[in-house]
Amino acid sequence: MGNPKLFISYSWSSQDHEAWVIQLATDLRESGIDVVLDKWDLKEGHDAHAFMERMVSDPEIKKVALICDKTYVDKADGRSGGVGTETQIISPEIYRSQAQDKFVAIVKERDDEGKAYLPVYYRSRIYIDFSDPSLEAENFEKLIRWVYEQPLYKKPSLGQKPGFLSEEQRAVSLGTSSRQRRALDAIKSGRDNAEAVMIDYLTTLADELEKFRIDASIEPFDDEVIRNIEAFLPYRNEAIELFLSLALYRDSLETRTAIHRFFERIIPYLERPQNISSHREWDFDNFKFIVHELFLYALATLIRYERFESAAFLMANEYYVSGRSEYGKDAMVPFEVFHQYIKSLEHRNKRLELRRLSLRADLLEQRSKGSGIEFRYLMQADFILFMRDNIDRPNDQWHWWPETLLYIVRHSGPLEVFARSRSTSYFERAKILLGVESKAALAPLLEAFGAERQRLPRWEFTTLSPSGLLGFNEIATKP
């Protein structure tokens, strides 16, 4: 779009008002808008009526602004003076025009009851409010965006129907919704039973997750994995909503312990149940995705709202797995257990020739939309888990692969929590996330990454810079 033309219609109410209109027109011209204004464009000997008609007859004039104060509205409704003439030209155009984006009223004045002065023919339409000087800068931007047809809020493109609504998908009801609503109400209201109803919801969710177990005989199995995790989306969103409420309203030792115990309860879904004698490696891949995603969101939410002690609690405290399991009898396992390889997604990538670097990363990114937590916070949590893994257990059998950091090329500079850690006092709070006592404690690991003694994740030609994402050189350089 080139320089748009804008016609300004106004009344000669007073010298101050005229001066304001001229200043507005000047500001608009300085913003690249070719303003048509009588003070500039109507000269001696010109046809005043023809000048007024230009607002609807000139094809180059795409926008018309009506500066509405009491005098303008009185003249417009009474069809008097030049404004009355312009009204006779404008009102038929507004009533018959299919398009509704050529004319806009700019309200400069309100009556004694606070109602905007608007001509009768315009009263059902949306206006731009310049009656409050304190909001003039904000509304000037709104006017500019209207002229250039570049609104602040753009309608997103239409996506696909969610897979969990597909008629082909077998409906699964976990019976958790009413419990989740009771928990949210108790948390937000600060009720004494908040912990109890929260634990009831999380326990029910953990137990009922069994209903999402996939029949291993279904083929193609990777199709079923995708359908299954899509069907879980409403329940994932319920859990995220609870995590958000806890982070905002009820962060405590009791709540972080309850979240920890919830994740303990769902670890068994990651391995073969005791009543199944034989299985394939990918038979539980849906649970591997679901559990991993839930853990990422729990941590991302806590870090997003600076509940650093609770986030660190989930990383520092191991998880108890009772009875016979792949991890040993009555085993304690670290948080890395929540990330496990998903073979079926790799198989899908090859079977359908999708040629994606990581279907898992793609799914996490796509599913973050509408979750209540921006994807950048998932990447931040993933990076912290990766760093904590390398700090706590650099040579252990456990390994945390930061799936979402495939998309880190979209991010420049340090992640938010570390950008804020330029402040020494902030870093003193945030360092618990990495489990270090000082900035200097990070130096050996960063040196090992640089010398390739410690492995960095890589996706073809894409990798990450731990030092850059930490903003290491700037950490604790301010008070």
Which residue type sits at 87?
T
pTM of this structure: 0.67
Helices (H) and strands (E) in the chain, counts: 20, 9
Task: Print pLDDT tens along the chain (479 aa).
Answer: 578 999 999 999 899 999 999 999 999 999 999 999 999 988 787 878 888 888 877 888 889 999 999 999 998 888 888 787 788 888 776 656 545 688 899 999 999 888 999 998 888 788 999 998 888 888 999 999 999 988 887 777 776 666 555 544 446 788 899 999 999 999 999 999 999 999 999 999 999 999 999 988 889 999 999 999 999 999 999 999 999 999 999 999 999 999 999 999 999 999 988 777 777 888 999 999 999 999 999 999 999 999 999 999 999 999 998 765 666 666 899 999 999 999 999 999 999 999 999 999 999 999 999 899 999 999 999 999 999 999 998 877 678 999 999 999 777 789 999 999 999 999 999 999 999 999 999 999 999 999 888 889 999 888 899 999 999 999 999 99
Indicate the residue type of 447. Answer: E
Separation of alpha carbons 198 and 181, rounded Å? 10
Tell me the fold of 5-148: Rossmann fold (3.40.50)
Q: Which of 201, 178, 403 is nearest to 289 (CA)?
A: 403
What gap in Å lies between CA 119 and CA 125, rounded to an integer?
10
Expressed in angstroms, the distance from the first to the final Cα of the chain is 47
Distances (CA, A) of 318 to 202, 344, 435: 19, 28, 14
- Estimate the share of the chain in helix, then strand, then coil, as percent rounded to the nearest 5: 55, 10, 35
Strand partners, 104: 65
Q: Token pair 């950048």 is at which residue?
A: 376
Q: Which residue in 434, 451, 222 sits closest to 342, CA to CA?
A: 222
CA distance 243 to 255: 10
Exposure class string for 46-67: b at 16+ Cβ within 10 A, else e: eeeeebbebbbeeeebbbbbbb
pLDDT digits over 111-131, tens only? 988 899 999 888 878 899 999
Cβ–Cβ contacts within 10 Å for residue 350, how many? 10
- Encode 105-168 in three state secondary structure: EEECCECCCCCECCCHHHCCCCCEECCCHHHHHHHHHHHHHHHHCCCCCCCCCCCCCCHHHCCC
Q: Where are the domains of the chain?
A: 5-148, 171-402
